[in-house]
Structure 1
Amino acid sequence: MALLLQLIFVPSTLISITESSDVFRLVGDSVQLDIQDPVPEFDGLSWVFNRSENVLKHYSEVKKTKQYPGYEGRVEFNEETYSLTLKNLQKTDSGLYEAKAVGAQNRVVAEYRVSVLDPVEAPVLTHQLSRDTCNITLTCRGHDLSISSSCYKETCEEEEVTSPGGVTLSLSVSGSTIICNHSNPVSWKTDVLEMRKLKRLCADEGEGSVSPSAGVSVCFLKTVLYSITLTLMLSAVITVHIRERLTKSS
């Protein structure tokens, strides 16, 4: 029987009409890889990792399935649909998976490129008010990516950057909310800033200056006005006092 099982999988030319499909999963998740093309009559069907490492083999004549070291206990095979399920995925499971039907006609009937990714980190959205009235700089940071944008009153520039690994950092506006979004194909996290906070900053800055170029604060003007008023009041009191003394003297 062992000799028969070995002969079934004698290497031969394989016909592949399948285009690989990209699949993304989080670390610890599971993935089911289904057959993509019609399966011809076969003596055996194998799932192979990176074209060299056997995951499992199924022998149709004896209805037997063999799992290989490294996959025992964490893969499932459906003997009716020939689909493969990988469980508790790790980043080392990223790569190319192929289903090969071997018999009178040898054919690749499924091909998947699996990417196992960590969840993204939570981004950080910060803001800084410039010296110009209502000009606010926003900075969105996520892992090793960073983008900046400028806002004037309620108008903000939207920005986005994507790394070669498919990680995206974006700064956008949705209604009255500014959103810093950090994402990859399987996860995303956000940090938000309400537009009313920027409006308050703009209002505070407007109260703090006469105009963008004047540079004279309302507090300073109030101090001057108070000083002038106090001086006039003191002068009036002194004048009345002097008049009373002059009246008494006369």
Structure 2
Amino acid sequence: MKRCGLILWTCLLAVTVNSVWSEDPLSLGVRGGAVSFSVQMDLRGMDIEFLLWRFNSSYSVLRFSNESKNPLKTYPDYEGRVGLDPQTYTLTLHGLHLNDSGVYSARIIDHKGNDKDVAKHILHVHEAVPELLFSMSLLYFNSSEGFCNVSVVCEAGSSMVSATCDLENCVQVDTSLTLQHLQMGVSLGRDTHTHTHTIYCNASNLVSHRSQWGHMETVCMEEVDPILDPISGLLLVVLDTAAPLFLILLLLLLFCLIKRRRHTGYYDRFTTKAHLKRSFASIELLNIYEFEEFHWSPFPEEVLKGNPADADRKLPLLPQTTEPYSVDQL
């Protein structure tokens, strides 16, 4: 019994809450846009000393007074963003932020101090649908068979949808939706009069809608502009004529660079080799001249007096020659 009573009480409470919330009008706002809230009863002929608009029953937005030189007073968080129609008491809120979502209510106070609620609105602020980036690319085309297959990608900020389309329909391949309440889709439209096929990309949320489109014929059968055709032909002729000449010049440049590199390397090696041969030749000639000077000296004992054993050593005589030693003989 207790469980049944609890369930019945919960259902009754849910119905009551839904009925209360259903009586309050829901307003949708786009970030950066504006929204207006009107009073929900006729205030003509009523004793009104003050009218106060509030946000979430805790923050004052604007106060209107019938007996003041400055009838409107805007509170700091809403300065420069709100306005009031003094005839209908309609509140207008500009430059909406996402945190402006909430409940806006109005209350009047008469000269006797009595107050009465005269308006209550629920506001939901959402981001607008971003600009769409729409692209089509050819996958396959066969004119004889009358078949064309196109890849389509549509992006809205960080959200995207991709599809493949032929001349009959479009099939979505991938969908990634990162924005709240965003819906995206790709569809194909056919015009029976012009026999054209148009691909549409639609994106919408609770507060805005965007669309992009493109003709399949522009991708499947691209035609060259007749005005640009002679220019492109002339450009192709120039390129065909200049290509062999450019190739010849490039080969000549590479040949010169390689030849110069080889010549420089050979010259360096030759110079180094000749220098070493001359150095070794001078050393050998110096040793030979010293040997001949010792052999033909009139006093060889003076040269060998440091070591008496060397005085008895007979040195072989070398025949004298007038021909100089060549470097190649060394």
Answer whether TM exceeds 0.5 for this pair.
Answer: yes
Aligned counterpart, 1:87: 94
Tell me by how many angstroms 1:55 deviates. Answer: 0.5
Aligned counterpart, 1:24: 29
Separation of aligned partners in 1, 2:136 and 2:158: 16
Separation of aligned partners in 2, 1:154 and 1:182: 22
Give yes or no for contact 2:160–2:177 (8 Å, CA) kept in 1: no
- Per-residue CA distance 1:167-190 (angstroms, 9 max, x = gap): 232212233311123334444444
Aligned counterpart, 1:125: 135
Tell me by how many angstroms 1:24 deviates. Answer: 1.8
Distance 1:148 1:88, change over 3 A: closer
Aligned counterpart, 2:164: 150
Aligned counterpart, 1:53: 59
Q: Do residues 110 (structure 1) and 120 (structure 2) align?
A: yes
Aligned counterpart, 2:198: 177
Distance 1:18 1:61, change over 3 A: farther
Aligned counterpart, 1:197: 218
Aligned counterpart, 2:248: none
SS of the counterpart of 1:36?
A: coil
More strand by share: 1
Give percent identity, aligned residues only.
27
SS of the counterpart of 1:106?
A: strand
Separation of aligned partners in 2, 1:70 and 1:194: 49
State the TM-score, normalized to the length of structure 2: 0.46
- Per-residue CA distance 1:147-175 (angstroms, 9 max, x = gap): 23332334324799876723232212233
- Per-residue CA distance 1:35-76 (angstroms, 9 max, x = gap): 233446554321112332110122345583321112223322
Tell me by how many angstroms 1:85 deviates. Answer: 1.8
Give yes or no for contact 1:125–1:191 (8 Å, CA) kept in 2: no
State the TM-score, normalized to the length of structure 1: 0.58
Distance 1:131 1:193, change over 3 A: closer
More helix by share: 2
Aligned counterpart, 1:139: 153
SS of the counterpart of 1:126?
A: strand
Separation of aligned partners in 2, 1:184 and 1:195: 27
Distance 1:114 1:82, change over 3 A: farther
Separation of aligned partners in 2, 1:66 and 1:38: 23
Distance 1:123 1:83, change over 3 A: same
Counterpart code for 1:179: Y
Counterpart code for 1:53: Y
Tell me by how many angstroms 1:143 deviates. Answer: 2.0
In structure 1, stretches of 5+ residues that fail to align are 1-14, 202-250
Give yes or no for contact 1:161–1:170 (8 Å, CA) kept in 2: no
The structure with the largest alpha-carbon Rg is: 2
Separation of aligned partners in 2, 1:199 and 1:130: 8
Counterpart code for 2:61: V
In structure 2, stretches of 5+ residues that fail to align are 1-19, 191-196, 223-330
Aligned counterpart, 2:38: 34
- Per-residue CA distance 1:111-148 (angstroms, 9 max, x = gap): 14141535513233334516997444433222232223
Give yes or no for contact 2:201–2:212 (8 Å, CA) kept in 1: yes
- Specify which structure has the bigger relative contact order, considering alpha-carbon pairs within 8 angstroms and separated by 6 or more residues: 1
SS of the counterpart of 2:153?
A: strand
